[in-house]
Chains A and B, each alone.
Chain A
């Protein structure tokens, strides 16, 4: 076996084993044809990247049917956009109560000489929220690639804002937990196409509308709380209790209606919260409700793992049978 062939085989390990059993020799031959034509004796960096990206995508697509991915994507896009819109309006825009309240708190901590904020916003995290809203519009209009770029930009902006520490433009940012949940929702939103059909667009719109009403209802009564806005938002609106209860209810409804695709989609959307709960329990935080969250997280993670494993085994078996039969 030649050196270049070994290198290509190594790069193809990104693909699932069942896919390689059926396709590896064919794809390898094509890769070697291209390398011969270009007079190369090793893979290019772009080829390696292409194989890695498509290998990961193949794993996801084989494990999760398109119907589940589109449902999860539509739900996550709607929920994330609603969170982003509420946060932008209530906490990021100047003079909207939440932002100025946070500013007063920050003045108490850092002194009155600092000029907190980023343009008209409380922090540069406004970019995260604006990118989410843009992604939502692009997603439901069928611009999946634009949606993916916007969501990637939102995640990158979140990282930059967190890394900004106590800079004037970053100190009034949302809690890192809030940004983590939004990043998790972005990851779920890109696995499917919420603009694929009128029905998926409807799911996204409904998800956004219901989330918007629910979040505003949660935010309004305690608007003048003395908690800093970022942390407050996570502890109240994004709190695992509310989200867990909502997603748990959806899960029960889906299970009663025997809709396995919706069950798995809801579990996927719940994954960012489940991971966060696990992390907070690991850190020993969570207050009096910690044991309850622990049980919720454990049940959720076990349900997720079992459902995904069973679905993947069925899907991979069916796909292999189809390929071998063709």
Chain B
């Protein structure tokens, strides 16, 4: 997968799985928590994303069980998925650093002008 194609919902799905194997509902709730409520995936969209990430080799099914009469399928991050997530996190960190440096410079300019 091209790193430029990691959109925000995909990033938070991968990030939630970085914490360990999870089933669909746990991925939904954790993605919402990790994104401060910005990413609210619908169930159909979540499973479409998981299908796509499985096809790309970033995520894999990790077993099923029935809990309280409900079928749970667990998903796990693959090594490739972990590498993509690390690269995307690094890209975001560099962007944030550049933004912070630029904003510090802008603050000094406006402070000198005042």
On A, residues with C-beta under 8 Å from B are: 23, 25-34, 37, 46-47, 50-51, 53-55, 57-58, 142, 323, 326
Is there contact, CB below 8 Å, between B28 and A27?
A: no
Show 18 residue pairs from A and B whose CB-CB distance is below 8 angstroms, ordered by the A residue. A23-B47, A26-B47, A26-B71, A27-B43, A27-B47, A29-B24, A29-B25, A29-B71, A30-B25, A31-B43, A33-B24, A33-B70, A51-B43, A51-B44, A53-B44, A54-B44, A54-B47, A57-B48
Q: How far is the CA of A54 from the CA of B64 in the complex (A)?
A: 23
Shortest Cβ gap from B17 to chain A (Å): 15
- Report which of B46, B51, B60, B72 forms a contact with A29, defined as CB distance below 8 A: B72
Assuming A26-B71, A29-B24, what are 13 further A-B pairs, CB within 8 angstroms? A23-B47, A26-B24, A26-B64, A27-B24, A27-B44, A29-B71, A30-B47, A31-B43, A34-B43, A47-B43, A51-B42, A142-B4, A323-B61
- Does B73 have its Cβ within 8 Å of any Cβ on chain A? yes
B110: CB under 8 A from chain A? no
Cα A46 to Cα B28 in complex, Å, equals 16
Minimum distance in angstroms from A53 CB to a CB of chain B: 7
Nearest CB in chain A: distance from B10 CB, A: 14
Size of the B side of the interface (Cβ < 8 Å), in residues, is 21
Contact with A along B61-105 (1 / 0, CB 8 A): 100100000111100000000000000000000000000000000
Binding site for A on B (CB under 8 A): 4, 23-25, 28-29, 42-48, 51, 60-61, 64, 70-73
- Which of B25, B28, B64, B72 counts the most chain A CB atoms within 10 A? B25
Residues of B within 8 A of A29 (CB): 24-25, 70-72
A32→B23 CA distance, assembly (Å)? 13
CB neighbours of A37 from chain B (8 A): 29
Q: From DSSP, what is the main secondary structure of chain B's interface residues?
A: helix
Which 10 A-B pairs have CB atoms at the shortest separation, nearest pair first?
Answer: A29-B70, A54-B44, A50-B42, A30-B24, A33-B25, A50-B44, A25-B71, A26-B73, A51-B44, A54-B48
Q: Who on chain B is nearest to A32 by CB?
A: B70
Return chain A residues, CB-CB under 8 Å to B42: 46-47, 50-51
Cα distance A27–B44 when bound, in Å? 8
Q: Which residues of B contact A323 (CB under 8 A)?
A: 61
Asked whether A58 and B24 contact (CB < 8 A) given A53-B44, A326-B61, the answer is no
* Interface pair A30/B46, CB less than 8 Å apart: yes
Residues of A within 8 A of B44 (CB): 27, 47, 50-51, 53-55
How far is B60's CA from A257's CA once the two chains are assembled, in angstroms? 36
Q: Tell me the bound Cα distance from A25 to B71 in angstroms.
A: 6
| Complex interface: chain B residues within 8 A of A142 (CB) | 4
Complex Cα gap A58–B44 (Å): 10
Which residues on the A side are within 8 Å of B51 (C-beta)?
58
Chain A nearest CB, measured from B72 CB (Å): 7
Task: Tell me if A50 and B43 are in contact (CB < 8 A).
Answer: yes
Give A53 to B45 CA distance when docked, in angstroms: 9
Flag if A30 contacts B43 (CB, 8 Å).
yes
Closest to A43 in B: B43
Q: Which residues on the B side are within 8 Å of A32 (C-beta)?
A: 70
Closest A residue by C-beta to B41: A50
Residues of A within 8 A of B24 (CB): 26-27, 29-30, 33
For the complex, what is the distance from the CA of A37 to the CA of B25, rounded to whole Å?
Answer: 10
B43 contacts across to A, CB distance below 8 A: 27, 30-31, 34, 47, 50-51
Residue of A nearest to B42 (CB): A50
Q: Nearest Cβ distance between residue B112 and chain A, in whole angstroms?
A: 39
**Chain A residue nearest to B55 in the complex (CB):** A66
Most buried by A among B42, B43, B46, B47: B43
Residues of B with C-beta under 8 A to A34: 25, 28, 43
Chain A: minimal CB distance from B4 (Å): 7
